[in-house]
Amino acid sequence: MGTKVSKLNKFTYTWLILFLVWLGFTSTFAFAEVVTGILLSFTVAIFSYNSFTYDGLKIFSPKRLMYIVQYFFVFMLALIKANIDVAKIVINPKLPINPGIVEFDSKLKSPFAKLILANSITLTPGTITVDIIDNKYFIHWLYVTGTDQETTYKEIAKQFEDILIKIYN
Amino acid sequence: MNYIGYFLISIGTIFLFLGGLGILRMPDFYTRLQAGTKASTLGAMSSILGIGFLQPEWFIKTFIIVVFIAIANPLSSHALARGSHKAKQMPFLKDEKIGDAYEAVEEKLHKNQKKEDKK
Amino acid sequence: MDLFFIIIISVISLGAVFAIIRFIKGPTASDRVMALDTLSVMLIAVLVILGFLMKRYIYIDVSLVYAVLGFIGVITIARYLEGGI
Residues of B with Cβ-Cβ distance to C45 under 8 angstroms: 12, 16, 43-44, 47-48
User: How far B116 CA sits from the closest chain A CA (Å)?
Assistant: 18
Out of C33, C35, C44, the one facing B44 most closely (by C-beta) is C44
In this model, does residue C42 exceed pLDDT 80? yes
Interface test with B, best of A17, A22, A90, A139 (most B CBs within 10 A): A90
Taking one residue from B and the other from C, the number of pairs with CB-CB distance under 8 angstroms is 156
Query: Do the beta carbons of residue B61 and residue C60 sit within 8 Å?
Result: yes
User: How far C63 CA sits from the closest chain B CA (Å)?
Assistant: 8
Query: What domain range includes position B90?
Result: 2-118
B76 and C78 in contact by Cβ < 8 A?
yes
Q: Report how far residue B10's alpha carbon sits from residue B47's, in angstroms, rounded to the nearest whole number.
A: 7
In the predicted model, what is the mean pLDDT of residues A1-16?
Answer: 75
Residues of B with Cβ-Cβ distance to C31 under 8 angstroms: 29, 32
What distances in angstroms separate CA A59 from CA A15, A17, A157, A169, one per listed residue? 15, 12, 22, 11
B19 and C11 in contact by Cβ < 8 A?
no
Query: Do the beta carbons of residue B25 and residue B36 sit within 8 Å?
Result: no
Residues of B with Cβ-Cβ distance to C71 under 8 angstroms: 72-73, 75-76
Domain annotation for chain A: domains and CATH numbers: 7-59 (no CATH), 61-168 (3.30.70)
In the predicted model, what is the mean pLDDT of residues C17-24?
Answer: 91
| Angle subtended at Cα C60 by Cα A120 and Cα B18, rounded to the nearest 5 degrees | 50
In this model, does residue C17 exceed pLDDT 90? yes
Query: Do the beta carbons of residue B98 and residue A144 sit within 8 Å?
Result: yes
In this model, does residue A84 exceed pLDDT 90? no
ipTM over 0.95: no
Q: What are A16-65's pLDDT values in tens digits?
A: 888 988 888 887 778 888 899 999 999 988 888 887 777 767 777 788 88
User: How far B74 CA sits from the closest chain A CA (Å)?
Assistant: 6
Which residue from C minimizes the CA distance to B48? C45
Burial of residue A61 (CB within 10 Å: 0-12, 13-18, 19+) is: exposed
Out of A91, A99, A144, the one facing B30 most closely (by C-beta) is A99
Q: Report how far residue A86's alpha carbon sits from residue B40's, in angstroms, rounded to the nearest whole number.
A: 12
Tell me which chains share at least 3 CB pairs under 8 Å with chain B.
Answer: A, C
What distances in angstroms separate CA B46 from CA A105, A136, B7, one per listed residue? 33, 32, 9
CB of C32 within 8 Å of any CB in chain B?
no
Q: Report how far residue A119's alpha carbon sits from residue B71's, in angstroms, rounded to the nearest whole number.
A: 7
Out of A79, A89, A128, the one facing B42 most closely (by C-beta) is A79
User: How far A131 CA sits from the closest chain B CA (Å)?
Assistant: 6
Burial of residue A26 (CB within 10 Å: 0-12, 13-18, 19+) is: middle
Strand partners, A98: A143
Residues of A with Cβ-Cβ distance to B93 under 8 angstroms: 99-100
* Residue type (1 letter), A15: W
**Cβ neighbours for B10, distance < 8 A, ≥ 6 positions apart:** C8
Interface test with B, best of C2, C34, C80 (most B CBs within 10 A): C34
CB of A117 within 8 Å of any CB in chain B?
no
User: How far B101 CA sits from the closest chain A CA (Å)?
Assistant: 6
Share of chain B above pLDDT 70, in %: 86
Q: What are B48-105's pLDDT values in tens digits?
A: 999 999 888 888 888 888 988 888 888 888 888 888 888 877 777 766 666 666 777 7
Query: Do the beta carbons of residue A54 and residue A5 sit within 8 Å?
Result: yes
b or e along A135-160 (b: 16 or more beta carbons within 10 Å of the residue's beta carbon)? eebbbbbbbbeebeeeebbebbbebb
Band (C81; pLDDT cuts 50, 70, 90): confident
CB of B77 within 8 Å of any CB in chain A?
yes
Provide the domain count of chain B: 1
User: How far B94 CA sits from the closest chain A CA (Å)?
Assistant: 6
